[in-house]
């Protein structure tokens, strides 16, 4: 299926690994021009180098970053058609999961909201004038199932992502009539660096359950989270949903939430 993305210009945050890398790769395969945003590049991102890829090194917790990112996109490719706010999760120096309401302090809450809510809001605000110039503009915000299914852990993260989902709905109402579609993709647990890196979720849960880290990812976590598929989500599965929503082929889809969670959400 032709997703009609050839020549479209997309900004993707958190593009150096995991879901963002998969989104970047898929957009390039569909003929899009991609501005890949991350603090630093990776060998995997470097392997995608070509005339349609521009890496912009940026810390999204820097309030000046959005203006530089959009300016580079316009300078290199002439405009912006798609914005994928994928960067999120634990801010630098933070590991999740964190258990209990009293675990995060005020500083933790501020950093979590800065990274997962305020940074996307600032980038959307900066990109809007360029998106309004596009004849097929789309914003895709990556949230989490925890925004809809909170529990006694990761309070700050869940709340920040719930805020992002709310912003997405409001944007779809305000800017839909002006030609910008805005949607959410909400992954469940995805096999990314958040889980696999040393000191990440697999190690934290291994310490809490007494299992080894591989068993946590392959068996313990899927059982704890009631994943119908019996496994963690793969980054490419999330990327496929993101790119479809970014495509003009999804022209009547706006204000929607697409869940890619292995069946963890049980509510209607």
Q: How many CA atoms lie within 13 A of 221 on its CB side?
A: 26
Quick check: is 155 catalytic? no
Query: If residue 121 lies in a helix (H) or strand (E), which one and from where to where?
Result: helix 119-131
Q: Among 59, 38, 40, 60, which Cα is nearest to 118's?
A: 60
Distance (Å, rounded) from C-alpha 8 to C-alpha 137? 9
Instruction: Give residues with Cβ within 8 angstroms of 102, minimum separation 6.
Output: none
Determine the Cα–Cα distance for residues 219 and 211; give it in Å rounded to an integer.
10
Give the active site residue among 113, 157, 175, 195: 157
Spatial separation of the C-alpha atoms in residues 60 and 88, rounded to whole Å: 10
d(CA 123, CA 62): 11
Paired tokens of 91: 């801010």
Please give the structure tokens belonging to residue 217: 């990812």
Contact assessment for residue 139 and residue 183, using Cβ atoms and an 8 Å cutoff: yes
Measured distance CA(129)–CA(131) in Å, rounded: 6
Q: Two tokens at 16?
A: 């150096």
| Phi and psi, residue 253, nearest 5° | -110, 110
Report CA-CA distances (Å) from 108 to 112, 115, 154, 190, 246. 6, 11, 11, 23, 32
Mind telling me the catalytic residues? 157
């Amino acid at each position: 299926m032709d997703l009609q993305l050839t020549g479209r210009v997309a900004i993707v945050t958190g593009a150096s690994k995991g879901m963002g890398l998969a989104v970047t790769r898929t957009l390039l395969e569909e003929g899009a021009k991609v501005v890949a945003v991350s603090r630093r590049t990776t060998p995997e991102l470097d392997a995608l180098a070509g005339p349609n890829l521009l890496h912009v090194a940026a810390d999204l917790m820097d309030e000046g970053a959005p203006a530089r990112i959009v300016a580079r996109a316009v300078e290199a490719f002439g405009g912006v058609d798609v914005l994928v706010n994928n960067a999120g999760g634990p801010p630098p120096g933070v590991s999740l999961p964190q258990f209990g309401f009293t675990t995060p302090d005020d500083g933790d809450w501020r950093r979590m909201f800065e990274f997962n809510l305020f940074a996307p809001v600032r980038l959307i605000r900066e990109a809007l004038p360029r998106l309004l110039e596009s004849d097929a503009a789309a914003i895709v915000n990556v949230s989490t199932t925890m925004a809809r299914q909170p529990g006694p852990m990761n309070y700050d993260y869940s709340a920040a992502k719930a805020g992002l989902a709310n912003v997405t709905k409001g944007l779809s109402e305000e800017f839909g009539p002006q030609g910008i579609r805005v949607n959410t993709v909400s992954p469940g647990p995805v096999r990314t660096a958040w889980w696999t890196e040393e000191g990440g979720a697999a190690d934290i849960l291994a310490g809490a359950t007494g299992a080894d880290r591989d068993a946590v990812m392959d068996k313990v976590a899927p059982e704890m989270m009631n994943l119908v598929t019996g496994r963690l989500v793969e980054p490419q599965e999330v990327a496929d949903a993101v790119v479809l929503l970014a495509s003009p082929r999804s022209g009547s889809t706006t204000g929607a939430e697409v869940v890619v969670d292995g069946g963890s959400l049980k509510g209607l």
